[in-house]
């Protein structure tokens, strides 16, 4: 491996080692929705960009996940899914009105 391959480019986010669990996965989908809603900046370029089609897709994925995991989640996980979906849907409606 060359020295150049060993270096991390400025555009490559630092690798963060942490345990991945259901809540982390749900938060990552929620974060993607917030980025696509134009509410949070894209961490790769620090720009705020709106893509409502992708935001809807993120929200729909969370809804599918909620449906498919019904009865298998802890009370905290159920609350997280419910609250996150409600919040994202309200943001989507608001951002859609602006467009």
**Residue ranges of the domains in the chain?**
19-98
Q: Model's pTM, two decimal places?
A: 0.79
pLDDT digit string (tens) for 2-12?
Answer: 455 455 555 66
52, two tokens = 């409502």
Using alpha carbons, list the distances in angstroms from residue 55 to 11, 32, 97: 23, 7, 14
| pLDDT tens per residue, range 56-71 | 999 999 999 999 999 9
pLDDT digits (tens, 9 = 90+) for 73-83: 999 999 999 99
> SS3 letters for 40-82?
CCCCCCCCCCECHHHHHHHHHHHHHHHHHCCCCCCHHHHHHHH
User: Residue 8: its pLDDT value, please?
Assistant: 52
pLDDT of residue 12: 65
Work out the pLDDT band at 92, boundaries 50, 70, 90.
Answer: very high
- Residues 55 and 40: their CA atoms lie apart, in Å, by 12
């Amino acid at each position: 491996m060359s020295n150049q391959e060993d270096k991390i480019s400025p555009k490559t986010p630092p690798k963060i080692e942490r345990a991945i669990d259901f809540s982390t996965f749900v938060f990552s989908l929620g974060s993607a929705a917030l980025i696509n809603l134009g509410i949070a900046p894209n961490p790769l370029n620090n720009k705020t960009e709106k893509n409502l089609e992708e935001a809807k897709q993120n929200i729909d994925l969370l809804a599918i996940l909620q449906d498919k995991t019904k009865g298998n989640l802890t009370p905290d996980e159920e609350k997280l899914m419910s609250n996150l979906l409600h919040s994202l849907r309200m943001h989507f409606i608001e951002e859609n009105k602006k467009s």
